Amino acid sequence: MESGSKPLAFSWTICLLGVFMLWTGKKTFARTAQDGLLSNGDFEASPELSFLNGTVIVGETALPSWKVQGTVEYIRSGQAQGPMVLVVPQGKHAARLGNNAEISQGIELDRGSIYSLTFSAARTCGQLETLNISVSPAAAASIDLQTLYNSEGWDAYAWGFIAITDRSELSFLNPELEQDSTCGPLIDNVAIKKISLPDQSDDNLVINGDFEEGPFMFPNSSVGVLLPPNLDYETSPLPGWIVESSKAVRYIDSNHFSVPEGKRAIQLLSGNQGSISQIIKTATSKTYRLIFSLGDAGDECHPPLAVVAFAGDQSQVANYSSVMSDPFHVFNLSFMANSENTKISFHSLYYNTKDNSSLCGPVIDQIKVTDLAELSRGYVFQFPLRLAYGANLLVLAFLQFFL
């Protein structure tokens, strides 16, 4: 037996050594994109002066870390265009894409993982402007920059994709052919984050119901991040959820907004034009309860604030009043599932704005769906335990008092 066990132990050692080498090899040589700003994602590393013709960047590799094609301008903070001062979202510099111009850079990825890109963009002329993003060969999208959601003159956007290769080329392209060649979107603050899909817990059928997992947010940015419409469930930067309407919703953080729970929540904008939804697994004819928190973002949004919540064949209007002392209110809605998949969705009842006309709206968080039968079984089970715990406390108090 002894002679047989040595080779076995030896092969286990070799096996463990192999696993260890693979692990350390991955740790040593993997250079996948880290969460945060891409290389020169803030465009603060400038081209050499000899590679600038006025504001136009000359040469494919003149802009550090980026490849430039077509007319790309290097914009400085305070730079004027006619009567208008161009807006630079962060720092002192940004890039502007002229007609059919493109900037790109290679990024290392973990194949099979979902990533979210966060970037700031502003349109510079009155025309409809769009920005095409692609991560070749996996995915591409077109972001509409027509609606300005805040008063800063620019917005931050998020977009997600799944990595199908270890290395991809990320590019931003202005697909427009404007008559005025100085028009075209301005880009700044390009960041990436690997998205992890939160687990579905036994007591909540909703994935990421607290919105704590989502796109990268810059700690010093106070405008939130817009989640544009037409997201896919598989690659959504807000895992579990999609924006299924024609306008964006805003992902907000507790550093700059009031958030009911944790560090992140969703602010619904644009009335019924901006809604988020999730398909949850249900059992036909079973009864469930949808619970959610509703508050305001603390951004001086003009009331009234209200959301419409849909679950299966039921809906409910929930009103928020800041007159009440609670920073947020909790609502619930019971519904019966008509199939094995039930959609829950939320949109703002009103089209809310602030004094400066920028868009705002109600905030939702802590979305939960529970099986009512499971819930009542839980109470039946918990009641004797709570009774016993209470009795123990009484006995302890009695002993402490008399002994």
Q: Which of residues 29-68 bind Ca ion (CB under 5 A)?
A: 42-43
Binding mask 155-194 for Ca ion (x = CB under 5 A): ---------------------------------x------
Q: Which H or E element spans position 29?
A: helix 2-29
Distance CA 217, CA 193 (A): 9
- Coil vs helix vs strand at 378: helix
How big is the CA angle at 119 (ends 265 and 233), to the nearest 5 degrees? 55
> Is residue 73 at the binding interface for Ca ion, with CB under 5 A as the rule?
no
Q: Which of residues 204-243 bind Ca ion (CB under 5 A)?
A: 210-211
Distance CA 207, CA 258 (A): 22
Minimum distance between the CB of residue 370 and Ca ion, rounded to whole angstroms? 18
Cα-based distances in Å from 93 to 47, 73, 174, 189, 283: 11, 10, 19, 10, 54
Burial class (CB in 10 A: 0-12, 13-18, 19+), 354: middle
Distance CA 259, CA 241 (A): 18
Cα 387 → chain centroid: 43
Minimum distance between the CB of residue 221 and Ca ion, rounded to whole angstroms? 12
Minimum distance between the CB of residue 293 and Ca ion, rounded to whole angstroms? 8
Minimum distance between the CB of residue 212 and Ca ion, rounded to whole angstroms? 5
**In the complex with Ca ion, which residue's Cβ is closer, 176 or 365?**
365
**In the complex with Ca ion, which residue's Cβ is closer, 93 or 123?**
93
Q: Which of residues 255-314 bind Ca ion (CB under 5 A)?
A: 261-262, 264-265
> Is residue 90 at the binding interface for Ca ion, with CB under 5 A as the rule?
yes
**Bridge-based pairing state of the strands 314-320 and 275-281:** unpaired
> Is residue 152 at the binding interface for Ca ion, with CB under 5 A as the rule?
no
Amino acid letter, residue 386: R
Among 18, 91, 137, 304, interactor with Ca ion by CB under 5 A: 91
* Phi–psi pair at 348, nearest 5 degrees: -75, 140
Minimum distance between the CB of residue 213 and Ca ion, rounded to whole angstroms? 10
> Is residue 253 at the binding interface for Ca ion, with CB under 5 A as the rule?
no
Minimum distance between the CB of residue 126 and Ca ion, rounded to whole angstroms? 24
Cα-based distances in Å from 295 to 7, 18, 130, 278: 65, 53, 32, 20
**In the complex with Ca ion, which residue's Cβ is closer, 163 or 368?**
368
**In the complex with Ca ion, which residue's Cβ is closer, 97 or 163?**
97
**In the complex with Ca ion, which residue's Cβ is closer, 94 or 305?**
94
Q: How many CA atoms lie within 13 A of 176 on its CB side?
A: 25
- Coil vs helix vs strand at 72: strand
Minimum distance between the CB of residue 139 and Ca ion, rounded to whole angstroms? 25
**In the complex with Ca ion, which residue's Cβ is closer, 46 or 99?**
46
Binding mask 361-380 for Ca ion (x = CB under 5 A): ----x---------------
Q: Which two tokens stand for residue 1?
A: 């037996």
**In the complex with Ca ion, which residue's Cβ is closer, 90 or 171?**
90
Number of residues that bind Ca ion (CB under 5 A): 13
How big is the CA angle at 92 (ends 87 and 94), to the nearest 5 degrees? 60
Query: Which of these, 317, 315, 237, 310, lies nearest to 279 by C-alpha position?
Result: 310
Part in contact with Ca ion (CB under 5 A); list of ranges 82-90, 140-148, 167-175, 340-348: 82-90
Binding site for Ca ion (CB under 5 A): 42-43, 90-91, 93, 188, 210-211, 261-262, 264-265, 365
